Structures are given as structure tokens and as C-alpha cells.
Chain A
Amino acid sequence: RKEVEQDPGPFNVPEGATVAFNCTYSNSASQSFFWYRQDCRKEPKLLMSVYSSGNEDGRFTAQLNRASQYISLLIRDSKLSDSATYLCAVHTGGFKTIFGAGTRLFVKA
């Protein structure tokens, strides 16, 4: 079993749609959780950190469920510019960060 698993993509949604991505992790000692955005042929950039209390940044909401070892990202009112690959990342007790395979999102007009 992979340490970090994400929903297989791609997701094709119309502008204005709400889309949710899920991610599970296997190491219960994991300490920090993140969502990164990666545009085609570019480096990943931090989108949001994920906290147990949940956090929101504009149209983006991230949630963490430690009991189920599950992370989610919700994007509301999708824009064309949201088209990208979204990577779930887990910072483990071994002081390293493990990434999921990524979920590709296509938002169409």
C-alpha cells in the first residue's frame, strides 16, 4: 500500500462547479499535511496547509480527519485558472515529506 494515496483523475468539471479531492495516508505518526498545486511542467507550489480544525482560503477548504487518516480539498465556484494537478503531501515523523500521485483537474468553459 502506498504511503499517500489520492483519488485517481482526471476530473473534468464546468466553470462554477464544486469539486472535492480526497487523500489518505498510512503513517499514523504523520505530523503535517498540505495541498500543493502544480501547473503543467512547473514546480509544485503550496496551496494550503491542512489542520485538524479545517481551514478555508477563499474558494478553497481543506479538512483533516486524523482518526480516519484522511485529508480533503474542496474547491467551490471553479475557475478556468484552477486547472492544474493537485498534490496531497504528508510530513512524516521521519522528517521527510511524501507526496501522493496527484489528481489532475480540468475546468472547462
Chain B
Amino acid sequence: DIQMTQSPSSLSASVGDRVTITCRASQTISSYLNWYQQKPGKAPKLLIYATSNLQSGVPSRFSGSGSGTDFTLTISSLQPEDFATYYCQQSSNTPPTFGQGTNVEI
């Protein structure tokens, strides 16, 4: 199975901050990398698919980049509604696997 490792596991930030979360795959996954946002008590929500494609309705302050094994989610200017846990997921090989999550808190 492909292991996905996110860093950091948690971070503290303020409104307006630029936030970067990284995700590393244990083997190359081309661009088959997705990002999800999950708020407490809610289902995950797809933010970005195939490394850098914004899901419909997702604000443009979210962006993704990378290829191969190293990927990044960036929030250009953190908003109050962005405080949540973020997961990366590889969709290159079965089983699809998730990172352990990054909790973005105030």
C-alpha cells in the first residue's frame, strides 16, 4: 500500500496568514493526489483533485501543487471558515490511502 505522510500534524495560524501543508507519498503517484477539508462533526469535502484542480465552489485562496511524491496545499489568506482538518489522499493505486490529517487551528 502507498503510505501518505502529511506535515505538520497540526498548526496554529491567524486569519490572513498564508498556510502551507505538505503531503509525501511513499512511492510515485504522478498527479493522483486529492485534498479534503473536514470540519468537526461533518463529512470530508473535496477541495482539490489531481494535485491542482479546484473543485467547483471552492474559493480560489486554496491551491495545490506538486508531482511524483511531494505535494502541497496552500491557503493564501486564511479565513475563519478555513479552520479545519485537511487530508491528502492518493488515487493512483488501490487501496486509495489518506494522510493522517493536518489540524489547522487558531
A and B interact: no
Chain A positions near chain B (C-beta within 8 angstroms): none
